[in-house]
Amino acid sequence: MGESEKDQKESAGPRGEGTPLSARGQNSIPEKSTSRSESAQKKKSRRAAILFIAVVVIVAIVLAAYFSITVHQSPPVANASYPWTTQYDVLFPDGKQEHIGSTTITALSYQDEVIIDVDDNRERLVVGEQRLISERRAIITMLGIPIVDTNYQMYVTFIGVRGSDDEFYLIIKTSEQVPQFLIERILPPDIRARPV
């Protein structure tokens, strides 16, 4: 064997050791990096999916609670005071029966007068006249659970006729504080109530 062949074998070293370590490890490092990246992406996707489902569930519960609001009325508790007041400008469709909670109201106008029928009790009002039309106890429930128990008084002031509607100031006085969104949930959309 010539010296040149011997030198080549010695430089190559033992079988399998001719490839440098740095070269042998190049294929395995990217595989681990890609695996970690895919695992992190899957975790992020799972977290995003869980968060989305949680938001959907919360929104569904809130909507169910909001649309489950009901009002149970009864005669008022005696000697109640009414420190809380909410006022609205409202347009009642003339001659159409409307419901505020479980109170039935119909307004029928003629020139500068209106006859307002509240649970079959009729009152005649002229423009600018205010009248107490209802005093009751109301228990407001959400998902069947009582959340507000209050006495209330309902006053109306006849403002006049606007097209096919009768305009009133509606004043609601309560013995307990009632969130405005609960009052507005009880008011029917047809009467177009605007806080004043």
pLDDT tens for residues 167-179?
A: 999 999 999 999 9
Give residue 70's pLDDT: 84
Give residue 67's pLDDT: 82
Reference 134, options 102, 109, 103; nearest CA is 103
Give residue 29's pLDDT: 52
Q: Annotate 133-170 with DSSP letters as a single string.
A: EEEEEEEEEETTEEEEEEEEEEEEEEEEEETTEEEEEE
The number of C-alpha atoms within 13 Å of 103 and in the hemisphere containing its C-beta is 21
For residue 71, list its beta bridge partners. Answer: 140
Q: Annotate 60-75 with DSSP letters as a single string.
A: HHHHHHHHT-EEEEEP
Give residue 152's pLDDT: 93
Rounded distance, CA 23 to CA 10, Å? 20
pLDDT tens track, the chain, 196 positions: 545 554 544 555 555 445 554 445 455 555 556 777 777 787 888 888 889 899 999 998 888 887 888 888 889 999 899 999 999 999 999 999 988 877 889 999 988 899 999 888 898 999 999 999 889 999 989 888 899 999 999 999 999 998 889 999 999 999 999 998 888 888 888 888 889 8
Give residue 30's pLDDT: 55
Coil, strand or helix: which one is 112?
coil
Give residue 137's pLDDT: 92
Rounded distance, CA 75 to CA 141, Å? 17
